[in-house]
Structure 1
């Protein structure tokens, strides 16, 4: 028996990503100040902070959201019982208590170099947009940004010194059209949302608070498919199809196809095998064969 699948129904989530050089310690106050300030502000504004539980900016993002009394979601690259990095075991437990942990790998699977880029598409797909705090060229954050663009999500970048290699990627993305943000207000304005949780509810902790905020972040059984999801499911079989073939056969825009495939993956109805090739899961194939 498989556990029930859940999806985010109302996605007032924002991914917070970035990567410091390995020489920069996570606890260095002057360095941690930027992501701490942004993530704390996002949490206080009522958005859910999504990140990948990695050392550096990910860890600061999760911790600052928790400390602000907000919610945060950690998306794992491995199984639920394979917390990575080990240094974040306590943080992992705190997120379970005051947020949520998402993974697509079964229990016992250790994360490897291929699973992190795949994980990043979930981080961007479940979010309204991605905020890149700081990232050098070659940073893993670039995978999340490229997925966000494919999924028609917003990309926000915090500018940095042109003399700092740690800001090379963020500065280049701004040059190429990403939204330059100087503070939380810029993000809220671009997303056309005010503070999304009434002040009386911001002090509540844990996912129980979501029962009183139906337009914020709620989880619902993923039984009903949207028209776009039904259209793509009808094109898929147990033989791998590349996203370009799926797009041509469906006639939908590539941005819609990419984001819809991500949601179907979150629901467990399809699976990505290889580079941008997709198949139906066995359960979905059985359901559609019986229709």
Structure 2
């Protein structure tokens, strides 16, 4: 695939653009408009999910953009109600039909106790074998379940999409992804806007002539973490993409890491049967 000058990471033998455009909470009209504009700006990684109810609009936005489909990395997700063998494959087929494209990456949206991991991973691999996705992965899996899922998967799980931003420490999960030859994708990478007024990030931003959002996204991709910010504003999407002409120092990266705190998680819908990795902020 042609991603221009954008940095990518390689999971298995697959290249994934480190900066993507997310569509969580985007109404269909906004999703169509913003996906088309993001691709015109230069984004080459688009993220959606069945539960977002905008896959059809995302697909239309891709067509509206005029960008060749082969030059785009497209991710969607299977919702937890469709994890059973048979249901999962039908849900994957539904995503293909709504998008109008075969996704590059199909993720399990959250870990679920039932059906078993064995059944769900077998179904996910079967969806890949049927050509309903090019590759597979996870979302919101703690390290223990991440390892279990990879042990059960015939194919490499290319990423684990989880909440990650300066107020949340993710060291064990990052180490797990590296050990498994996988990657981490950060949702809510800008902490739902909370980084905008952060004094430490503002100081670093002034030193580089950048915004707080640009510094935060740069902090993520310098860790080889995929970031998928979303916005309804074309100007903000352009701003978020303008992060490839500067680099944070090791000291600046460490200073941002130091902002992590025990109560930093903003969205936690994990089944109580599972526990996030134990980390000290």
TM-score range, shorter chain: 0.3 to 0.5
TM-score (norm 2): 0.37
TM-score (norm 1): 0.36
